[in-house]
């Protein structure tokens, strides 16, 4: 069967793709930028990629008409635009318009649990999208999930940051709100088992694990899993804005995502029933089991996807392709080169840069620059990296975004997502046993030029020190 997968570069989409391929299906992946899509070699004969922007209806003609089913995994949890709920509605309407022109029998939609009488803006938007999809000529299967627990999920990363960093927490009262977390493997099981399954056509299901917990209990459960002693005190005085700033400064989340999460965390997300468990033969794991599995994946450096790699975690509002060609005109450029002794060693060092590994020289200055960026509302260096030794185009890397990564070519290009009076690139490339390293800055007016001259004295030892460490 031919399956359309939207959100193929997202947290869920990346993990769902190999499962659907393993079922024997041909998968068409919808992406806004082909350069951000990475597909393992073993799946490529069964996967094709098309560029589609669901806010631009003219691009939807790229979707073939002979698809049998589609996954709708598009949403804006970040709330990156004030009118993101309207944008989600338009995306859904454009999607329905195009799928109505295909032979698709089913659309599977991953939504949020919307059983509470008072919904957040985010959850209300999810419900409105569901209503739009139900206007199509195809059967809709809606799976409503609450908190998703898995390595790389926003919820898991926030919980991990809070527990690891704060022995004592003074927290907002919404930490006493109840929810029903579900492990990411179980979400994927429900998504895959629902595919072209007539018993799910035209129905909506709540999906969740066996445990109903408060967010406070989830934090303490994580602490227990890590053998850490933590004390949590809830207070009624934290406003939504103050709560959002609390999450933003303590965890790796962006302020916009923190704000969306805070508004949603005041709403109980508990399943009405678990009838789908018997219907599809899925037995969801407990919260403790989900945590254990996620922690193992992190320890083994086998995180398949992370919310941090989505563009909403940074500054990008357009395709990365437009930034891949490093400019030279009207730019300040710091160029350095050095003969390499062992190409494989140098490649491994470059591909492991950032995150827990650090930048090999002057790490405290890199951390300071990230902290300053965070104070001004930027991404800072808290995102780290998803994997310790593997990076691909589109991945987040501290306060950089990977634009191009090719080991065979020996070339890595990064783009700065910090707040700057201009634009910055960092490039590594190996040519004829010589490593070329260049930092390029395109200033925006006089403030950009002043910024370059202010940081230029530090380049002499930071970039030279880093270059030396990449060689040996």
Spell out the domains of the chain, with CATH numbers in brackets: 2-308 (3.40.50.720), 314-471 (3.30.530.20)
Mean pLDDT (whole number) for 21-50? 89
> Residues 172-210: pLDDT tens digits?
888 888 999 999 999 999 999 999 999 999 999 999 999
Choose the weakest-confidence range: 223-232, 373-382, 463-472: 373-382
DSSP codes, 46-84: GEEEEE--TT-GGGGGGS-TT-SEEEE----TT--STTH
pLDDT of 296 over the 80 cut:
yes
Separation of alpha carbons 344 and 16, rounded Å:
32
Separation of alpha carbons 421 and 447, rounded Å:
6
The whole-number pLDDT of residue 124 equals 76
Sign of the Cα torsion 294, 298, 301, 304 reads: positive
Considering the chain, what is the average pLDDT of its residues? 88
Q: Show the 3-state SS of 130-162.
A: HHHHCCCCCEEEEEEECCEECCCCHHHHHHHHH
pLDDT of 336 over the 80 cut:
yes
213 — pLDDT class (breaks 50, 70, 90): very high
Total residues found in the chain within this entry: 472
Burial (Cβ within 10 Å: 0-12, 13-18, ≥19) of residue 380: buried
The packing angle between helices 255-265 and 154-165, to 10°, is 100
> Residues 372-412: pLDDT tens digits?
888 887 888 878 888 888 888 888 899 999 999 999 999 99
Q: Tell me which of 37 and 331 has the higher pLDDT.
A: 331
**How many helices (DSSP H) and strands (DSSP E) are in the chain?**
13, 19
Give me the residue label for tokens 């898991």: 156
The whole-number pLDDT of residue 317 equals 55
pLDDT of 79 over the 50 cut:
no
pLDDT of 313 over the 60 cut:
no
The whole-number pLDDT of residue 320 equals 72
The whole-number pLDDT of residue 167 equals 92
Separation of alpha carbons 297 and 240, rounded Å:
33
Mean pLDDT (whole number) for 357-376? 88
Q: What residues does 26 pair with on adjacent strands?
A: 2
Separation of alpha carbons 209 and 99, rounded Å:
32
Q: Percent of the chain having pLDDT more than 70?
A: 94
pLDDT of 117 over the 70 cut:
no
> Residues 241-276: pLDDT tens digits?
777 777 777 787 777 777 777 777 777 889 999 999
Q: How many CB atoms lie within 10 A of CB 93?
A: 17
Choose the weakest-confidence range: 242-246, 302-306, 330-334: 242-246
Separation of alpha carbons 111 and 132, rounded Å:
13
The whole-number pLDDT of residue 303 equals 86
pLDDT of 458 over the 80 cut:
yes
Radius of gyration of the chain measured on its C-alpha atoms = 23
Q: Percent of the chain having pLDDT more than 90?
A: 55
The whole-number pLDDT of residue 116 equals 66
Separation of alpha carbons 186 and 181, rounded Å:
11
């Amino acid at each position: 069967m031919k399956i359309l997968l939207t959100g193929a570069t997202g947290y869920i989409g990346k993990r769902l793709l190999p499962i659907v391929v393993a079922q024997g299906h041909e998968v068409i992946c919808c992406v806004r930028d082909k350069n951000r899509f990475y597909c393992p070699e073993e799946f490529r004969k069964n996967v094709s990629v098309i560029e589609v922007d669901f806010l631009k209806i003219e691009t939807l003609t790229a979707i073939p008409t002979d698809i049998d089913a589609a996954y709708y995994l598009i949403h804006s949890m970040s709330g990156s635009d004030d009118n993101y709920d309207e944008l989600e509605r338009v995306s859904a309407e454009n999607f329905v318009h195009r799928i109505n022109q295909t032979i698709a029998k089913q659309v599977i939609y991953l939504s949020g649990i919307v059983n509470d009488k008072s919904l957040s803006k985010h959850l209300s938007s999810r419900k409105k999208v569901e209503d739009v999809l139900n206007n199509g000529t195809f059967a809709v299967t809606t799976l409503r999930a609450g908190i998703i627990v898995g390595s790389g999920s926003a919820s898991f990363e926030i919980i991990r940051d809070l527990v690891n960093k704060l022995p004592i927490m003074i927290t907002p009262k919404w930490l006493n709100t109840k929810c029903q977390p579900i492990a990411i493997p179980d979400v994927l099981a429900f998504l895959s088992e629902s595919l072209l399954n007539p018993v799910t056509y035209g129905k909506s299901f709540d999906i969740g694990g066996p445990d109903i917990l408060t967010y406070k209990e989830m934090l303490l459960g994580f602490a227990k899993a890590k053998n850490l002693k933590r004390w949590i005190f809830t207070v009624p005085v934290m406003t939504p804005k103050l709560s959002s700033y609390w999450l933003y400064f303590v965890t790796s989340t962006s302020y916009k995502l923190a704000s969306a999460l805070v508004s949603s965390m005041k709403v109980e997300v508990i399943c009405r029933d678990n009838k789908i468990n018997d219907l599809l033969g899925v037995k969801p794991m407990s919260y403790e089991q989900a945590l254990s599995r996620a922690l193992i994946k992190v320890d083994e450096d086998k995180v398949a996807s992370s919310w941090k790699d989505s563009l909403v975690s940074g500054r990008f509002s357009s395709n990365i392709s437009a930034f891949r060609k490093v400019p030279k005109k009207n730019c300040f450029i710091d160029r350095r080169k050095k003969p390499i002794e062992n190409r494989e060693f140098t490649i491994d060092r470059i591909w492991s840069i950032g995150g827990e590994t650090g930048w090999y020289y002057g790490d405290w200055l890199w951390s300071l620059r990230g902290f300053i960026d965070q104070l001004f509302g930027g991404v800072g260096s808290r995102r780290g990296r998803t994997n310790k030794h593997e990076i691909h185009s589109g991945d987040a890397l501290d306060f950089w975004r990977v634009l191009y990564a090719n080991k065979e070519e020996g070339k890595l290009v990064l783009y700065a997502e910090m707040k700057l009076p201009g634009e910055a690139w960092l490039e590594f490339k190996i040519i004829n046993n010589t490593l070329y390293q260049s930092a390029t800055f395109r200033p925006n007016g006089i403030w950009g030029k002043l910024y370059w001259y202010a940081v230029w004295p530090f380049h002499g030892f930071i970039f030279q020190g880093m270059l030396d460490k990449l060689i040996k």
